[in-house]
Structure formats: C-alpha cells, structure tokens
C-alpha cells in the first residue's frame, strides 16, 4: 500500500489540492465527519488508504493516519457519482478518487454536492441595480424619481424573481428549470414594451420608436440569455463526471446575464427621462 504524500500535490498540475496548512477550526460551515477508504491515482501516484473526510466551507478535507491532511477545493471537482456506500469524485486534473464506506458516506456525499452547487451571489458589484435614487429633490423631481424607480424595479424584476426561486435549491437540474433562460428573455422583452408604453402612453408611433431603441440597447442581454440557455442544455445532457464543471459554466452565464441587464439599464436609462 502506498501512503498518500502531500509532496505529490504541489505545483500547477493540481492547484486545488494541497496539504493543510493549519488545524481545522470548528464552525457552522463544518459538516459531520465520515470515515472512508480512498482508492485512486493522483498525479500518477497510487492511493489506497483509509481517511477521515470532512467539509469546511468550500473545501473537502481528507485526514490521513500517517500523512498531512489534503484539502481539495470543491471547485476542483468536475463531477461526482453517489452509490450505496460509494462516492466517486472526478477531479479537474483528470484524476479519479473512489471512496467506499458505510451509509454515512452517501449522506456525506449528498452534503458535498449540496455545498458544491449552492448558488453564489449574483448581484454584487452591479452598479445600476444598486442605485435607484439620487439626492434630495423637489416635488416634481420626486415624482419623476418615483416613476424612474418603478421602471428600474420592473426592468430587473424577472432576473431577481428567478434568483429568488432558486434560493436554497442545490439540485443543478432543478436550478436550470427554475431559472429558465427563455422565460426570462420573454419577460424582459415584455418589460421593454411596458417601459415604452409608460413613456408615450397616448402616442403609438413614439411608443414603437422608444421600444425599438430599448430593444436595441438591450440586445446584449438577449444574447447572454441565449448563452445561458445553451449552457443549461449542456448541463441537462451532460454526464455525472462533468456535472459540477457544467454547472459552474452555467452559473457563469447566469452571472453574465445579470451583468448584461445592468449594462443595458445604464445605456437606455437616458431614454426614460419623461413619463406619459
């Protein structure tokens, strides 16, 4: 039997796996520990040894009896497969770890997948989304601000509603269903028509012209939503050994859609200077 050696894990070939630098601290983010036998090959080295597994935040920790702990970032796992007393991890490096144990290992594997697929923050750093109002204004300006704020909220509502729908959901296939890109695109297109109607409620010609300008300025968002839909299709049709990698690619397209919506609002905000 070859004992695991942390020396084999340094370097650029497997940046997500490295020896622990300090003892783990107990916190709310630490899941229950479980024992398992680890079998596989990491960077060309055979591994066949018992280990104690735990989750610390976004890291899987493998504690060995006679070697320094390994810390594997969940972002370094491309896929996972769960079975009775079995957890197979497909690493981004191309290596595979086969973990075997009792029924607790299956529960632990489910916890690992839940944590790996928790939706991240998507709105941090979006300037237009976070800035609705300016400073103190007079009554007329305040009325204009109220209309502007309503338009602002209406524009971002479809995306924010979809984000709220997946709050606490960690199943990737359910996430892509709840954040359906085609439904969001349909809702965003509907909002542009509504905003144009607010600007020119009694003049159909002006209303159509404003709507056309809004559609032009928001075209990058629709392109981003198309990419999001394609990534969702790839996730649905992908294999378990790439499920987490496919999920991360999909999440990135979701993030890009939020950024595109934020940029679009910044571009067509000057068009929304009057109410009807």
Is the confidence at residue 152, as pLDDT, over 70?
yes
CATH class entry, domain 6-116: mainly beta
- Tell me the mean pLDDT in the region 90-119: 95
Stretch 74-85: mean pLDDT: 95
Query: How far does Cα 54 stand from its chain's mean position?
Result: 23
Residues 236-261, mean pLDDT to the nearest whole number: 97
Per-residue model confidence as pLDDT tens digits over 5-33: 433 332 223 333 443 333 333 334 455 79
Longest dimension (CA), the chain: 82
pLDDT digits (tens, 9 = 90+) for 161-204: 999 999 999 999 999 999 999 999 999 999 999 988 888 888 88
What is the pLDDT, as a whole number, of residue 145? 60
* pLDDT(3) > 70: no
């Amino acid at each position: 039997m070859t004992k695991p050696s942390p020396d084999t894990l340094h370097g650029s070939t497997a940046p997500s796996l490295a020896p622990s630098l300090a003892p783990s601290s107990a916190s709310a983010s630490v899941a229950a520990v479980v024992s398992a036998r680890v079998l596989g090959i990491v960077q060309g080295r055979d591994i066949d040894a018992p280990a104690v597994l735990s989750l610390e935040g976004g890291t899987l920790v493998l504690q060995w009896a006679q070697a320094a702990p390994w810390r594997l970032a969940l972002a370094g796992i491309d896929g996972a497969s769960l079975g009775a007393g079995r957890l197979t991890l497909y690493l981004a490096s191309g290596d595979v770890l086969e973990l075997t144990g009792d029924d607790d290992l299956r529960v632990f594997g489910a916890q690992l997948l839940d944590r790996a697929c928790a939706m991240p923050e998507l709105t941090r750093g979006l300037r237009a989304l976070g800035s609705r109002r300016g400073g103190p204004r007079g009554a007329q300006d305040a009325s204009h601000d109220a209309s502007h704020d309503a338009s602002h909220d209406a524009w971002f509502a479809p995306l924010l509603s979809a984000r709220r729908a997946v709050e606490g959901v960690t199943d990737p296939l359910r996430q892509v269903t709840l954040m359906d890109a085609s439904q969001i695109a349909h809702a965003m297109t509907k909002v542009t028509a509504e905003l144009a109607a607010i600007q020119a409620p009694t003049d159909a010609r002006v209303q159509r012209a404003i709507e056309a300008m809004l559609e032009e300025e928001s075209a990058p968002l629709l392109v981003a939503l198309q990419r999001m839909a394609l990534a969702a299709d790839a996730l649905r049709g992908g294999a378990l050994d790439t499920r987490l990698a496919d999920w991360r690619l999909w999440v990135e397209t979701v993030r890009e859609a939020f950024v595109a919506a934020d940029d679009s609002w910044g571009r067509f905000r000057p068009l929304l200077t009057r109410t009807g």
